[in-house]
Every structure is written in structure tokens, then in C-alpha cells.
Amino acid sequence: MAHTGRSLRLGVNIDHVATIRNARGGRHPDPVRAARLAAQAGADGITAHLREDRRHISDEDIRRLSTEIDLPLNLEMAATAEMLAVALRHKPHAACLVPEKRAEVTTEGGLDVIGGESHLQPFVTRLNDAGIRVSLFIDPDLGQLDAAVRIGAPVVELHTGSYCEAEGRKRDTELRRLVEAAAHAEALGLECHAGHGLSYETVAPVAAIPTILELNIGHFLVGEAIFSGLDSAIKRMRALMDKARAESHGEKSA
């Protein structure tokens, strides 16, 4: 029998629906409506980043996403007391700890878990104790994975930004880093996710890494929705992920 392998989940990040809404204030377009549509289009989860400066997702969005959407919510958050209180109030299915700098355009790099063990550990413990699945957003660096285990995180999300931005041979090098990190995560017993900057062009090689169980994708999908609609963009992304995954299983069992 063909080896079916482990399935790959798609978390749709709806932050930039809120970015467009906030450009004018008001309520349109509504990220909760986008989340409902994502569910119908085949997303397995919704991801939203409540930033300290509330530049896109608002507290009210998090409240509504927690209560009005059936899909699991993955709350991306900085390791601050304010965000911990939000997570403990809404009890999302998952929380992904991310580094956050006020002036950055987007999350620029992974968390420094090695340098921040003593700061991060209490957040991981509090979220674990509340039954919230904690992930740490890190660069594909083996030392950072080891540190994630030391502080008790069950999940890591590998930052795919450098891979997506690189071209040619450099992209191959960045892909190898992701492959090695995903294998190391598996060996350490960590569940492995990946995301940031993924597009139709870059998603397949990451989806083909068999020990990665979830991809979180946002900006590209919301941008592409302008041209083809959100439903179509999500379905096409899902199809590319599934095809790459199926082909990689085929190669392994051939």
C-alpha cells in the first residue's frame, strides 16, 4: 500500500484584510467574514497577529474570531504580559510567540530562544498550563530548536522568509536549512510548522518536507484575492500544497 504520510494543514492568516479595513476605518472588509470564507475554501485554521500597536487585527477581531468561527484560531503574539492576558482571556486553540519590534513592516526574523530562554519560559508554561498549544516562531537554526525543547514548547514554526526572498542557488541553500531544521525538530519530538512570505511560486518545496505539518500563509493570499478572489486563491494554494505533498510521498514510496 502506498505510504500516505502525514497531512499538511493550511492556516490562513487574515491580518491584511484588517490592514485594508483600517486604511479607512470602519468595518469593511471584515476579517471575520474572510475567516468564514477561508473555512469554506478549505483552510484548516485561522491565524491572526494581535500586534502591540494594533495596526491591523484589533482586540474585537480576536474576540469575534474566538467566538464566531468554527476553525481553530492560532493567535500570533509577542511575549508580553498584555498579550498573555489576551490569550488567557480568549483561550485560542494555539498561540505562536513571535518577536515584535514597533517599527518593523512585518515580523523580520525568528525569536531568539537561546538568548531569551528565561524571559520566554514563563510564557510557554502559562500557555501550556491553560491548554493552549504553544509554538515558537524561529529561524531554521538547530540551536534555536534545542532551546525550544529546553523551555517546554511543543511546537515550532520555521520562518520561511529568507527562503522566499532568496533567488537561485541561495534559495536552494535556504531550503536545505528548512529541510534540516524540520528533520531536527522531528528528532527532538517537536511538531513543526512553517510560514512567512509563502506564495504560489515558493510553497511547493516547503509543502514537500514531510515532517512539516502546518503552513501559515497570509499576505500573498490576501493580495492575490484582489485578482482572483479569496476563495480561488486559497483553493489554488491548497491544491499546490497537496500536490507537492502527494508527489513527495510518491517519490519516497517508489
Residues that bind ligand PXP (CB under 6 A): 13, 15, 49, 76, 96, 98, 106-107, 137, 157, 195-198, 216-220
Catalytic one of 174, 196, 214, 224? 196
Q: How far is the CB of 168 from ligand PXP (least distance, A)?
A: 21
Nearer to ligand PXP, 13 or 144 (CB): 13
CA 162 from centroid of its chain's CA atoms: 15
Nearer to ligand PXP, 17 or 151 (CB): 17
Catalytic one of 16, 56, 76, 157? 76
> What is the C-alpha to C-alpha distance for residues 52 and 59, in angstroms, rounded to an integer?
10
Q: How far is the CB of 234 from ligand PXP (least distance, A)?
A: 12
Q: How far is the CB of 157 from ligand PXP (least distance, A)?
A: 5
For 16, 172, 174, the CA distances from 162, given in Å and listed in that order, are 21, 11, 7
Three cell numbers, residue 97: 510567540
Three cell numbers, residue 121: 519560559
Nearer to ligand PXP, 140 or 195 (CB): 195
Q: Could you confirm whether 159 is annotated as catalytic?
A: no
Q: How far is the CB of 112 from ligand PXP (least distance, A)?
A: 15
Nearest in space to 209 (alpha carbons), one of 160, 248, 164? 248
Give the helix/strand (H/E) hosting 113.
none
Residue 73, helix vs strand vs coil: strand
Q: Which residues are catalytic?
A: 49, 76, 196
